Amino acid sequence: MSRHQITRLRHDTRRRTLTIVSIETLGSHMRRMVFTAPELKDFVSASADDHIKLFFRAADGETVMRDFTPRRFDPTAQTLTIDFALHDAGPATQWAAAAQIGDTLDIGGPRGSAVVPDDFDWVLMIGDETALPAIGRRVEELRAGVPAITLVVVDGPADEQRFAARADWQGHWVYRAGQSDDDSGLLLGALRTLALPAGEGFVWIAAETAVARALRAHVQDVIGHPREWLKAAGYWTRGVADAADKTLDG
Ligand SMILES: Cc1cc2nc3c(=O)[nH]c(=O)nc-3n(C[C@H](O)[C@H](O)[C@H](O)COP(=O)(O)OP(=O)(O)OC[C@H]3O[C@@H](n4cnc5c(N)ncnc54)[C@H](O)[C@@H]3O)c2cc1C
């Protein structure tokens, strides 16, 4: 098989009901929850940027779905970790802010995985809090010694995370510091100062849709990175509920 072959897998999906066994606060507005359930015995998540559907009850009583990342799955303990970035409003954020140990949550998927091989000379991952679960998981899964550069926008130093990396991880953080909601400006400014390693790299971007689009344009058109070794997604869209744009085609 040639180098850098991305493999697409389909998985059987079914709905599972999980129970929270622990809750941890990460920084100023993230909550990490560990869930368990006997149904997790055949749970499969093959890629760090997989997503599962979480089912919530909206204010009008309807059931709605939102996408979240399986941050860590432990098949022996049958536990699944999900990190929730809390923001102003929305069924997912409201549920996550109020959740307590023993509460249940229905999930579906992952339906498929796009597995990026760990054979690149380096990896660059850029995003915001919603991307941190995929970024952290990927950094922790990468092979020993591979340069892994991450660039993440958060509110402040308390929101930085540490990853148990075997890779040669270089974490760059930029802060809104209550001064800015211009994630594009902050991330692009930092990206311009980054020296990328030599060789063939893979770039992954996930953030608010307009931010992800601006970053993708910079990586493709200014840095000149090959399109096939770049994946960019809008994980949410400012001012619009339930509005991910996973291919940025819109
Ligand atoms: C593949 C994928 C994986 C994802 N993984 C994760 C994950 O692991 N953890 C995680 O926290 N999120 C993750 N997200 C993002 C998450 O699905 C969205 O943020 C989602 O909109 C949250 O739903 P909600 O019910 O809280 O808000 P919604 O009802 O969707 O939106 C309500 C309002 O809040 C705004 N909003 C939504 N998200 C944010 C935000 N992060 N910051 C500020 N305003 C926001 C919207 O623009 C809207 O105005 C992922 C998204 C995708 C596509």
Ligand 1 pocket check for 92: Cβ under 6 Å: yes
pLDDT band at residue 178 under the 50/70/90 scheme: confident
Q: How far apart are CA 250 and CA 229, in angstroms?
A: 20
Instruction: Give me ligand 1 centre to Cα 87, in Å.
Output: 8
pLDDT band at residue 26 under the 50/70/90 scheme: very high
The pLDDT assigned to 208 comes to 97
Ligand 1 pocket check for 70: Cβ under 6 Å: no
Q: What mean pLDDT comes out for the span 144-148?
A: 98
The pLDDT assigned to 249 comes to 74
Q: What mean pLDDT comes out for the span 184-212?
A: 97
Report whether pLDDT(218) > 80: yes
The pLDDT assigned to 166 comes to 98
Atom of ligand 1 lying closest to residue 242 CA: 30
pLDDT band at residue 9 under the 50/70/90 scheme: very high
Q: How far apart are CA 114 and CA 120, in angstroms?
A: 15
| Adjacent-strand bridge partners of 65 | 55
What is the location of CATH 2.40.30.10 in the chain?
7-112
Q: What mean pLDDT comes out for the span 62-79?
A: 97
Q: Calculate the average pLDDT of the chain.
A: 95
Report whether pLDDT(226) > 90: yes
Give me the CATH topology for the region 7-112. Elongation Factor Tu (Ef-tu); domain 3 (2.40.30)
Q: Are strands 168-175 and 147-154 parallel, antiparallel or unpaired?
A: parallel
Ligand 1 pocket check for 87: Cβ under 6 Å: yes
104 CB-near residues (< 8 Å, 6+ apart): 17, 18, 19, 20
Q: How far apart are CA 91 and CA 197, in angstroms?
A: 41
The pLDDT assigned to 179 comes to 82
125-127-129-134 Cα dihedral, nearest 10 degrees: -40
pLDDT band at residue 1 under the 50/70/90 scheme: low
CATH class of the domain comprising 118-236: alpha beta
Instruction: Give me ligand 1 centre to Cα 122, in Å.
Output: 28
The pLDDT assigned to 4 comes to 93
CA angle 127, 71, 101 (to 5 degrees): 120
Q: What mean pLDDT comes out for the span 174-179?
A: 90
What is the location of CATH 3.40.50.80 in the chain?
118-236
